A and B are shown apart, each in its own frame.
Chain A
Amino acid sequence: MTINWFKYASPAAFYPIAGRLVPVFSIAALGLVLFSLYWGFFETPERLGGSNPQKEYYRIIFVHVPSAWMSMWLYLVLAAWSGIGLVFNTRLSFMMANAIAPTGAIFTFIALWTGAFWGRPSWGTYWDWDPRLTSELILFFMYIGFMALHSAIDDSRRADRAAALLAIVGLVMLPVIYWSINCPDPNNCAALHQRSSLTQIESNILTAMLTMTLGFWLYSFATAFARLQGIILTRELESAWVRDMVSGPTPAASGG
C-alpha cells in the first residue's frame, strides 16, 4: 500500500487534520506536564549531594532542561521543513516552519530565563558570557531573525524562501551549542555551565525531566498546528475552499 504523502502537502487537505490534532495534543501535553510537575515536586530528593549540594532550587531543572532541549530540537525541525520547502516547493512546508518558529523562540527564552533564575542561587550570577549561555542566546536571536525576516518581506513566497535560507544557515548554532559544554577535552572549552549528563541523574529526577520533555514536545505540536491553521486561512484567503468554508458553498462558487 502506498500513501500519497503529497496529498497532505496541500493546505486544504491538511487544514482539517490539524484541527482534529490540536485538542488531542493539547490534552496529552497538559496531562504530561501536570504529572511531571507533581513528580518533580513530590517524588524527588529535596536536596542533592556530593559536589553538587543544591537545595530545593535545583528543581528548576524540570523546566529548564526540557525547554532547552525543545529549543534546539524545534530549530532542527524548523530548518528541516525549510529545506523540504525549498526542494519540493511545497507551501505547507514553509507554513509549518513559520508555525514552529514562535514556539521555538518561547522555549529558547524559557531556557534562558529559568537558567538565569537557577544561576543566581547556584553559581552566584544571573548571567555570564559562558560559551553555552552565549550560544543559546544566539539561537534565540536566530528565531527572532527568522520571524523578523519573514514578516519584513511582503510577497509571502519570497519571504518563505529567504527565511528558509536563513534557517538553514542558522543550523550552524546547533553543534556549537552542543559542543560548547561537551567537547572531548574540557581544558579547551572551560565553561561555567556543567556538562550534559543523563547517566548521573537520580531516576525520579530523570523521570520528571523526561516526561516534561514529552509534554513540551506535544505542546509544541498543539501550538504549531493551531498556528498552522491560522496561517493557512490567512494565506489561502482568496481560494475557493476557504470562502466555501467560511460562508458555505454558494451557487456561483460551487464546484471550485
Chain B
Amino acid sequence: MKARQKRMLFVGVAILGVGVAASLALSALQSNIAYFFSPSQVHAGEHPTDAVFRVGGLVVEDTLARQEDGLTVRFDVTDNAKTVPVSYTGILPDLFGEGQGVVAKGRIGTDGVFYADEVLAKHDESYMPPEVQDTLQTAHVEGVIDAAGEAGDTAARTLSQ
C-alpha cells in the first residue's frame, strides 16, 4: 500500500467516524432534545415539575381573552389532542393570534394553568402572498405540530376550516 493510499484510507475512516458520530448525535437529539413539550405531553406528565419549560402548539380559536388589568392575556394551546390554558402578562409578538403557532416558556401552576414568562410566535414555511394563500387553502399548522405525513395534513386542514 502506497503512502498516498494509506492517507486516503485514513481520511476515509475519519469521515466514516464523523458520519457515525453525526448519526449518533442525531438519534440522541431526537430522543432527548425537548425544545418544547406538546399539551399531550404535559397532560401525560412528561414535563419537568421543578423547572421552567416550554409548551408549544396552536392558540385555540375564540379562547384569547384579555384580563381586567389590560396586560394579562389568557388563551388555550392545543396540539389537536389536548389543550393547556396559558396565562401571560406582557407584550405579544406581531404574529401572535388565534389559530397561530406559539411557544410559551414558563411554569405550570397548581391550578393547571401554565404561567408564561415569554410567549414566542411561530410561523410556517410557506412564503406566499395572501391571495395565493387563500386559494390554496394551505393548512397552517404544518411545521407547528405535525407537518410530516398525511395524518398531519388532514388534521391541519380540519382545524383550519
- A195 & B125 in contact (Cβ 8 Å cutoff): yes
Q: With A131-B35, A184-B148 as given contacts, are A200 and B127 in contact (CB-CB < 8 Å)?
A: yes
- Cα distance A251–B146 in the bound complex, in angstroms: 76
**Chain B, residue nearest A124 (CB):** B93
Please count the residue pairs between chain A and chain B whose beta carbons lie under 8 angstroms apart in the complex: 182
- A122 & B95 in contact (Cβ 8 Å cutoff): yes
Query: Which parts of A110-144 form the interface with B (CB within 8 Å)?
Result: 121-125, 128-131
- Cα distance A54–B103 in the bound complex, in angstroms: 17
- A249 contacts B by Cβ under 8 Å: no
- Cα distance A148–B64 in the bound complex, in angstroms: 51
CB distance from A230 to the nearest CB of B (A): 27
Contact with B along A82-101 (1 / 0, CB 8 A): 01001111000000000000
Q: With A184-B148, A189-B30 as given contacts, are A122 and B10 in contact (CB-CB < 8 Å)?
A: no
- A47 contacts B by Cβ under 8 Å: yes
- A49 & B7 in contact (Cβ 8 Å cutoff): no
- Cα distance A47–B121 in the bound complex, in angstroms: 17
Contact with A along B1-44 (1 / 0, CB 8 A): 00010011011001100100111011001110111111000000
* Contact among B127, B136, B138 for A58, CB-based, below 8 A: B127
How many B residues face the partner with a CB closer than 8 A?
62
Contact with B along A190-225 (1 / 0, CB 8 A): 111011110011100100000000000000000000
Interface residues on A, range: 35 or more
Chain A residues touching B, majority SS:
loop
- A37 contacts B by Cβ under 8 Å: no
- A51 & B101 in contact (Cβ 8 Å cutoff): yes
Interface hit among A17-25, A149-157, A167-175, A236-244: A167-175
* Contact among B8, B15, B29, B100 for A51, CB-based, below 8 A: B100
Contact with B along A153-168 (1 / 0, CB 8 A): 0000000000001001
- A124 & B120 in contact (Cβ 8 Å cutoff): yes
Beyond A50-B136, A168-B15, A194-B125, 5 extra complex contacts between A and B, CB < 8 Å: A51-B144, A87-B11, A124-B119, A176-B29, A191-B35
Seen from chain B, the residues whose Cβ lies within 8 Å of a Cβ on chain A are 4, 7-8, 10-11, 14-15, 18, 21-23, 25-26, 29-31, 33-38, 56, 92-96, 99-101, 103, 118-134, 136, 138, 140-148, 152, 160
